[in-house]
Amino acid sequence: MITRSLIPCGAAAVVLALAVGASATPANAATPRPTNLRQVVESLSGPDGAPGALAQTHDRHGRLTATSGVADIRTNTPVNPRSRFRIGSLTKPFVATVVLQLVGEGRVELDAPVERYLPGVVRGADNDGRQITVRQLLQHTSGLPDVLDYMSPLEVLKDPLRHWEARELVDIALPHQREFEPGKGWGYSNTNYLLAGMIIESATGHPYGEEIRRRVIRPLGLHDTFVPTDAPGIPGPHPRGYVRPQSDLVDITRLNPTVAGAGGGMISSASDLNRFMAAVLRGRLLKPAQLREMLTTRPTGRTSGSEYGLGLEWIPVKNSSTCKDGFWSHDGDMLGFSVRTGATTHGRQATVMVNLNPGGGPALDEAMKATLPDALCGT
């Protein structure tokens, strides 16, 4: 089944929701769109994948959305093309954007020590907020240990509705040795962004979620995007979120997102994430100086050759007329959901979601690695 509706996007544009097995070309496209979304979602769902999958691209021609599998394994309800879902670490670009806005307002300094904004908070083992800067938090060059290295998902499954304070989570990580001397390496750490959220509150007097709503969500009209604090549900149409601790799927849709906080607690949709990425790269949210800071990268050391800026990662791509030399991206993994979002500098965005995490196995892991290059740069 194919559904169509017209939306404004400069000129008229076409939104298509494809059930797997159908095919369509936007009526206003002069040539076939460079996409293989049907293959993307097929590779993500099924016996070796997640219960359900969704992929959406957006460019000057409009949106193309493909879904596969089911949103609920009990009812076999298909995945809604307008689904909302937990976005995990895709919360980080939102947090980084707000911190950089505060930099542009002179309320935070990127190269000031964390100690200035959070006196006495970063202590433990050889971790010291007097030696770590705000920039190093946002770029994952602080060396701080990752709280998730010392928290098992099974612990959360035992009490999914428990409230967690950001300081409580930070204090789980800080007694452990740092990974490297600040500024001397790169290492992804959720602890960095828990602290960045605390800095937003210190600088503004408001919770990080309130500032994200005021500065990003409302100005961009992101009607599917939420910072839910303690609310355990996902409002509006959404798939169930599953984990596979052993052989069977466990429904973890309802949980208290404070367990991820500023490192990964938000909810959004594919269309909202694509709009957000476009707005960031077009300079709608940051002044030119702060956007340059965000997009100034350093190598991650990953085999992909990726480089990390301040809340965004640059993924190099070879031999692609669509993506040229690469695209900006971020992953988002949260209990129940795994999401990938990316955008080219030439105005194309893509988001891919599956409703299983963790427990997908090697086949799903490999398929997820290929999702954004396929969706953004495929032919």
Whole-angstrom distance, CA of residue 80 vs CA of residue 71:
8
> For residue 306, how many C-alpha atoms fall within 13 Å in the half-sphere facing its CB?
22
> For residue 167, how many C-alpha atoms fall within 13 Å in the half-sphere facing its CB?
8
Start-to-end CA distance of the chain, whole Å, equals 23
What the block records as the tokens of 162 is 């428990």
Annotated catalytic residue: which of 43, 45, 89, 268? 89
Give, to the nearest 10 degrees, the angle between helix 270-281 and helix 91-104. Answer: 30
Cα pseudo-dihedral 237, 40, 93, 196, rounded to 10: 90
Write b or e for each residue in 191-215: b if 16 or more Cβ atoms lie within 10 A of its Cβ, otherwise e: bbbbbbbbbbbbbbeebbbebbbeb
Amino acid identity of 29? A
Q: How far is CA 58 from the centre of its chain?
A: 17
Write b or e for each residue in 158-175: b if 16 or more Cβ atoms lie within 10 A of its Cβ, otherwise e: eeeeeebebeebbebbbe
Active site residue 89: yes
Instruction: Count CB neighbours of 119 within 10 A.
Output: 12
> For residue 175, how many C-alpha atoms fall within 13 Å in the half-sphere facing its CB?
6
Write out the catalytic residue numbers.
Answer: 89
